Homo-oligomer: A and B are copies of this chain.
């Protein structure tokens, strides 16, 4: 079994242009990353598979896209202005700041050679609370009245639109509102690759239910989201559900379950599902003066409870890279392969002319490429010897490769090579599009142990 370290994932990501440190030519921008071509394609797939499961395939969830810079009163009501903080201490000697609850992982700024935890030389202040929201000023005036925040989560944009959706989308509980978009947190100790980054893309869904049904829907969403990962090929042995103990939960939550993945750094949160009760709608009702409740027929009237499955694309991205990463020896050569689910793979198929200088082969391969890319992201690749091209496609997780060779010129068939099994078969070139359609629709299971 391949030992998948974070270093291997970071290295492959960089080598193949999935993701790399941002602003590199300027020395980087602490724990910020830019996504290259394959990273963008893979993120697009993850986003659209989530959207498909949460919106397109359901009757009871609608989409929303709220602004990143909302009215700042939203964050007072939500409790973020007052309480979205980490405890920090200043060092009077080295002038750096540390998280008071992570001193054992910090090292002195004056003596960076010291090991984490050895901050004994530091002259630390008492801890004070540091707000994790990025602040900015909106408009021409630079004073308190113009202070605004970059949203630290997309959820609040949903809650403040609850009434709009009730009215405009003619909904009644149970129903949900789904949103995908960037959120920002001024993390003091970002790190661990894409794990804790200052800007990230959230996919959150707030599901509004009658209070009496909240527990049932909470369980439903924990299971539904868990199953979504299985559907897209993540190994069940690498997933677990972990229910938070009472002391670990947010004060408003009556139940939270993390779907955890066994990352190289250990079991960590992949997605969280929380029963948020009526906390959010009640807070916004109080602060805005607008009643956020459901009024049904007769004397039915209540503030719905909210079940929230929330995840970031980054955590799914890393989990799927880790889950897919494999190394093996084939015909006495090492091969690295990303065994991604075909729906997640950035490129669905490679089209390869065996001999790139052969005009007839190029013409056939180009024709096939033109045909296939009307529907899918496929890649024409004529760079280098065929074995090298196969290995490149393996590393970016391309599930199928169609090779145009000598025999193609005789009988108009091509070879299709399967990324996982390495099996090869021949297909009529005219049947490739239909074959690919069917192959991409097949259930897929990883051959990894």
Once the chains bind, are B34 and A63 in contact (CB under 8 Å)?
A: no
Q: Which residues of the other chain, B, contact A383 by a CB distance below 8 angstroms?
A: 170
Chain B hits for A184, CB < 8 A: 68-69
State whether A43 touches B25 (Cβ < 8 A).
no
Docked-complex contact A56 and B377, CB < 8 angstroms:
yes
A88 at the interface (CB under 8 A from B): yes
Cβ contact of A32, chosen from B43, B64, B67, cutoff 8 A: B67
Q: Is the CB of A64 within 8 A of B35?
A: yes
Interface assignment of A150: CB less than 8 Å from any CB of chain B? yes
Does A165 touch B at the CB level, under 8 Å? Answer: yes
A197 to chain B, nearest CB (A): 9
Would you call A63 and B88 a contact (CB within 8 A)? no
Is the CB–CB distance between A56 and B373 below 8 Å? yes
Question: What are the residues of chain B within 8 A of A135 when measuring CB–CB?
Answer: 136-137
Known: A59-B380, A198-B138, A373-B56. A33 touches B67 (CB 8 A): yes
Query: What is the size category of the interface that chain A forms with chain B?
Result: 35 or more
Name the B residues within 8 Å of A36 (CB-CB). 62-64, 161, 164-165, 168-169
Q: Which residues of B contact A290 (CB under 8 A)?
A: 25
**Interface-central residue, A17, A70, A97, by most chain B CB under 10 Å:** A17
A168 to chain B, nearest CB (A): 3
Does chain B have a CB within 8 A of A209?
A: no
Asked if residues B134 and A136 are in contact (CB atoms below 8 Å), the reply is: yes
Q: Which chain B residues lie closer than 8 Å to A355 at the CB level?
A: none
Residue A224 is within 8 A (CB to CB) of chain B in the complex: no
- A residues 381-403 near B (Cβ < 8 Å) are 383
The chain B residue with its CB closest to the CB of A384 is B170
- Decide if A66 is an interface residue (CB 8 Å cutoff): yes
Does A71 lie at the interface of the complex (its beta carbon under 8 Å from any beta carbon of B)? yes
Are B64 and A163 in contact, with the CB atoms below 8 A?
no
A139 CB to nearest B CB, Å: 7
Are A186 and B138 in contact, with the CB atoms below 8 A? Answer: yes
25 A-B Cβ contacts within 8 A?
A16-B168, A17-B164, A20-B168, A22-B66, A23-B73, A23-B160, A25-B284, A28-B71, A29-B67, A32-B69, A34-B65, A34-B67, A34-B161, A36-B165, A37-B62, A37-B64, A37-B165, A40-B65, A55-B377, A56-B377, A59-B380, A68-B199, A69-B184, A130-B140, A150-B150
